[in-house]
Structure 1
């Protein structure tokens, strides 16, 4: 793989430069060197991409389902065979450690296989009719062109998820890749699908400079031929995308930020709980929407848990994302590492105690950090951390644990660790989240499951039949099986 990669926009099956000729660089967060250069699209390029998607829609929607399914199955095999290439992209663009990148490729292949299955799954219902001699049907029909926005943090999984269900439902897609990871969050999956036989124009990829993102998003969502929107990213940007979609009366699926808790009940296996919590808090350096920002531990086991947890956190291998042993690699950029450091410093200034990690970031690398005694007026108590830091707190009763977990504007995911599933189900019933994992931590993704949150974590669901429903319309069809008795 060359040290510097040059790519253009993917429109209508061809790589073309931005009409302005502009380009933008992607910088490796660990080395500081330019890793890639991509075309920097503007609104005119967006229109060209929608032109291509709109032109390809009819043929793709009418392609026999078995042929469409075959494309997805070939793509899944190709993606798995190219996991190493995907890992190089993720390390070079956003500092993704190799185990995380390989996990991305494996889950994304599963997303494609689940989409393949959905293509030929039953899609509709037979309805009762009040009129004798009439058969009623409810059938799903594709929408047209879908605008998709992919983030940088799990770029292979989330770019694949952004396009798989819309394409499986018979739509065409314009995918706006993340400015931080245009290769891994857009062009990589498009290359795989194209080689698998996806027709030209069915998937188009726009890359852009960060400064142009608002204009690009506005042009894409405002185009009248775009009939639906999906976005995965921060709640702040999600509000903007959701508002734009609503202004143009377009449905949207928004998967946004989280402020997730893992609750360790009094009967938990502590060694297991420690391993689970370390993964939940620090996988991908905490840059996952489902990352565990808060570990809530029953006061009767808190001392043992904290001692073992901090020891495990201190031992996490840190540094070069290209080293397969690395767990804590660089964050997406130095500014992100400084943001986490600022949250930690603010908490300490207000009375919190650093139990592991802390210190000043080295470039984009921030040590895995554990805090206790965080007061409610600390910024980290409310803000999504989105980095390698977490807060450990205690509770005395189930009601207290649930109240602390729900003390956030977000509602994405949670974990409840216990040896008593009945107890865990009672606790889970009170949590205001779209996802709950029992005897597990908060990070989990399976392509057949309904994925999404509540409150400020967004709305709509990706995954399985829910994804197909999100990117298709229900059409009511009636068939009169005999001549109807019209008056007159």
Structure 2
């Protein structure tokens, strides 16, 4: 049965003003999964109207009341995990384990948002003005424009709005055209079930051809004060430039070209398992995926042989099958792009150790390449598919130099049994996140998450997320009448 969903505006499910809809297809077999309302700029204005109208009352809602809603939302999402798993399989090709991980982490992001409701929102400042009280006070900004991507739809969908709402803002959410339900409407259902008032979270879905116009109208609306975008660096540049043109701050979490260093003292069994997880989880469609493995020459031959065998053994197939590890990419075009990167590299001298070949629709084999050189596109471009490249290095210094030789800077990992050596290398890596003796795909809702360089700016998690979605005001209270010179 094909699911049908409308926009969510002011707590009501409503069609687009012109009645337009768009199709939402299953990556594994191309079947129509859902039809959703195809919003336009006029629908964005309706959503911002609703968010703006709801703002004052929501901002004045007691922190304890907001906390109860987010705690309940975490429990609701956890209880609906099986439903979330089915949605992710049908809508984005997410395999069972990945979908359960999404549901679990997204539930905890909601609980961490509950904690944000009662974080300190100011401090007392030193002042030279007599008996005056000088305060720095953080207050909600108003309406936040949020953009959620398809690849980790529950995690990144919740992250796009949770803390912004928790600290008293209202939100208009534009979910990805590839996952309008998983990263948008389903999550809004969870929040409504938890008691979120009407108009506090609004969702505008759209057809792919209208994406630019919808995004522009959301950013341009003068009542929208902060933009939150997670997605590709290419689109993030457009979002960031548009926000800057309207003098609005943006939180941008963009692409990555993440390196995982395997040192000569690493436990090779553990390293193979760690790299396999970091490279092939969600078919490599994660901004944190490890698509560059920098391995010391002393252990390279054994490590690479074992990694290739492990990659070749991973079960591929229907994401609805609980035994599947590698599901489809988001669509046939994405699989063809990955295959082209591999083929170009092979033509230029790279060697396929596992996988490779032509994709089957949206499905691409888990692939390991070595003999990759800097002149190949795959050396520099984010792969965003089930492919990792193995690059042999002769020293820690060479590994660091290669790892840093990229415009991206999201995450990295250092696999070593010497924590001091790993920490020393971690301090030299130009990324927002480094994991010593772990792989690159890791996330905790209370930690500062974000990158540097072309991976964007701003941080999610803990007090950093609160800072991103509040304004700091300076307020003074005079202790006595001041003296004036005239």
TM-score (norm 1): 0.99
Q: Helix, strand or coil: the match of 2:277?
A: helix
Alpha-carbon separation, structure 2, partners of 1:374 and 1:303: 15
1:195 CA displacement: 0.8
Q: Helix, strand or coil: the match of 2:365?
A: coil
1:2-401 map, 5 Å: 3-401=1-399
1:481 CA displacement: 2.0
1:336-485 map, 5 Å: 336-485=334-483
Alpha-carbon separation, structure 1, partners of 2:255 and 2:421: 28
Q: Helix, strand or coil: the match of 1:121?
A: coil
Alpha-carbon separation, structure 2, partners of 1:214 and 1:476: 37
1:375 CA displacement: 1.9
Unaligned segments of structure 2, at least 5 residues? none
1:357-380: CA deviations, max 9, x gaps? 111111111000000001211111
1:21-43: CA deviations, max 9, x gaps? 11000111112110010000000
Contact 1:12 1:49 survives alignment (8 Å): yes
1:123 CA displacement: 1.6
Q: Helix, strand or coil: the match of 1:401?
A: helix
Contact 1:258 1:289 survives alignment (8 Å): yes
Alpha-carbon separation, structure 1, partners of 2:109 and 2:209: 31
Contact 2:25 2:34 survives alignment (8 Å): yes
Q: Helix, strand or coil: the match of 2:476?
A: strand
Contact 1:133 1:484 survives alignment (8 Å): no
Unaligned segments of structure 1, at least 5 residues? none
1:483 CA displacement: 2.5
TM-score (norm 2): 0.99
1:432 CA displacement: 0.7
Alpha-carbon separation, structure 2, partners of 1:191 and 1:413: 32
Contact 2:121 2:139 survives alignment (8 Å): no
1:286-339: CA deviations, max 9, x gaps? 000000010111111111111111111011010100011111000000110010
Contact 1:142 1:472 survives alignment (8 Å): yes
Alpha-carbon separation, structure 1, partners of 2:82 and 2:128: 59
Contact 2:138 2:470 survives alignment (8 Å): yes
1:485 CA displacement: 2.9
